[in-house]
Homo-oligomer: A and B are copies of this chain.
Amino acid sequence: MQRTVFFISDGTGITAETLGHSLLTQFEGVEFKQVRIPFVDNEEKARAAVRQIEQAAERDGERAIVFNTVVNPELCSLLATSRGLVLDLFAAFLAPLEAELNTKRTPKVGRAHGMSGEKNYDARIHAMNYALAHDDGVAPEYDEADVVLVGVSRSGKTPTCLYLALHYGVSAGNYPLTEEDLEKMRLPDSLRPWRGKLFGLSIDPERLHQIRQARRPNSRYADIRQCRREVAEAEALFEKEGVRWLSTTHTSIEEIASKMLQLLGIERHFY
Which residues of chain A have a CB within 8 Å of any CB of chain B? 3, 11-15, 17-19, 21-23, 25-30, 34, 36, 38-39, 65, 69, 71, 85, 87, 89-90, 92-94, 96-97, 100-101, 103, 105-108, 110-116, 118, 120-121, 124-125, 128, 132, 158-159, 162-163, 166, 207, 249-255, 257-259, 261-262, 268, 271
Contacts and interface: CB of A to CB of B under 8 A. Distances in A.
Kindly report how many copies of this chain are found in the complex they form together.
2
Contact of A12 (B12, B89, B255, B271): B255
Contact of A26 (B34, B108, B132): B108
A120 to B, nearest CB: 8
Given A93-B23, A94-B26, A115-B253, A128 B162 contact: yes
Q: Which 9 A-B pairs have the closest CB atoms?
A: A22-B112, A12-B258, A113-B254, A26-B105, A115-B252, A25-B111, A18-B18, A15-B22, A116-B252
Contacts of A262: 36, 38-39
Contact of A92 (B29, B92, B114, B207): B92
A36 to B, nearest CB: 8
A27 B105 contact: yes
A97 to B, nearest CB: 6
Nearest to A15: B22
Given A15-B22, A100-B85, A259 B38 contact: yes
A128 B22 contact: no
Nearest to A117: B252
Contacts of A87: 93, 96-97
